[in-house]
Copies of this chain bind each other. A is one copy, B any other.
Amino acid sequence: MSDDQRFGLSRHATLPGPLALDGGVTLSPVEIAYETYGTLAADGGNAVLVCHALTGDQHVASTHPRTGKPGWWTRMVGAGRPIDPARHFIVCANVLGSCLGSSGPATVNPATGAPWSMAFPVITIRDMVRAQAMLLDHLGVDRIVVVGGSMGGMQALSWPATFPARVTKAVVIAATARHTAQNIAFHEVGRQAIMADPKWRGGDYYSSGDPPAAGLAVARMAAHITYLSEAGLTDKFGRRLQAREAKSFGFDADFQVESYLRHQGLSFTDRFDANSYLYITRAMDYFDLAEEHGGLLANAFRGTPTRFALVSFDTDWLYPTAESRIIVHALNAAGAAVSFVELSSPYGHDAFLLDAPHLDRVVDGFLRAA
């Protein structure tokens, strides 16, 4: 076991495992890239695990090494923020299957000395959670508060269902307990876009130095539409044209929304691996917490000691409020302590990443409550 504590808080652990995966195979060793902020209290009672979304990473409140941009949740994590290194020991780990240092298709398969590529095992949200649990064991953290939005919220649900004794509180934001047919459909479009790119080469593109960027960009564009509300897109772009101020009667990006989407697609390819996109979307599509518990969601939480806070956004059409209500009803049926609020925001699903003072207050109040 090695623990390479490099610059500041950015860490990397090689854990021996083996990690038994839902797909029936084991992974060993398990690489986990993570960051920590703050200090673990003597009683171990101040640990907060922050779980990231599909294309997120461990750089929750530090500069992203590739893009140079601030951490993805500085509005929630940092000095004076609801999750504060002065009070909390904060852990954020790159999920299994991702591409920012944790084991995934782009990391080396020790059996071959080459990248796993599509030989990497297909993983689930619960597998991501199990890997995080191994990391917490390694860090000497027993009990946690778990917080996450979107796919991070799926992990925040899976945590108490998988390790009930370890989770004191769970904050589940803009999430769902299962992917719907429409959710799966959008992800399938993205996967097909990647796999249709000849540069994908069945996943074996790492040595070519020429990844399937075009396919990945299309995948990102399709997904990005689902992260924004129709009204938000209208407010932000409407039918406004680019600087040329007249239609080109051609196929350049005439409309601002076209240019914006193209930029979102292209810039994404600089920071993300196409195979990781396949694996993580697959994990999300497989997610159905009820199915894991005999078909009844309440069974996932029966007797749970965890206290839950659920938050949805009224303009989120990816994981709409109705999905959060299903979770709340199941928690009620299981006798769990749960609070729930639907917040108003013009920004759709992405609201959890953006400026939303109400969300800050909800999380802050819930974390401070005894």
Interface residues of A (CB under 8 A from B): 22-24, 118, 121-122, 178-182, 184-186, 188-189, 191-193, 195-198, 214-215, 217-218, 221-222, 225, 230, 233-234, 236-239, 247, 249-251, 253-255, 257-258, 261-262, 265, 278, 282, 285-286, 288, 291
Contacts and interface: CB of A to CB of B under 8 A. Distances in A.
Q: How many copies does the complex hold?
A: 2
A121 B285 CA distance: 42
A122 B288 CA distance: 46
Given A180-B230, A181-B234, A192 B225 contact: no
A181 B261 CA distance: 11
B239 A181 contact: yes
A192 B180 contact: no
Nearest to A290: B239
A185 B257 contact: yes
Given A122-B250, A234-B181, A239 B189 contact: no
Given A182-B233, A184-B257, A192-B261, 6 more contacts: A122-B249, A122-B250, A188-B258, A192-B265, A193-B193, A254-B285
Given A189-B261, A221-B192, A282-B251, A233 B23 contact: no
A341 B185 CA distance: 30
A221 B182 CA distance: 12
Contacts of A278: 251
A303 B191 CA distance: 51
Contacts of A214: 196
A291 B247 CA distance: 12
Given A196-B214, A285-B255, A286-B247, A188 B233 contact: no
A184 B255 contact: yes
Nearest to A122: B249
Contacts of A118: 251
B262 A192 contact: yes
A178 B282 CA distance: 36
Given A196-B218, A251-B278, A237 B189 contact: no
9 contacts: A22-B249, A179-B239, A180-B234, A181-B233, A181-B236, A185-B261, A188-B257, A189-B218, A239-B288
The 6 closest A-B pairs by CB, nearest first: A196-B214, A23-B249, A181-B233, A122-B249, A181-B237, A181-B257
Contacts of A193: 193, 196, 218
A83 to B, nearest CB: 33
Contacts of A23: 249
A272 B36 CA distance: 53
A197 B215 CA distance: 8
A326 to B, nearest CB: 12
B182 A196 contact: no
A186 B251 contact: no
Contacts of A257: 181, 184-185, 188
Nearest to A238: B181
Given A121-B249, A195-B251, A249-B24, A185 B225 contact: yes
A181 B238 CA distance: 5
A249 B286 CA distance: 9
A198 B212 CA distance: 12
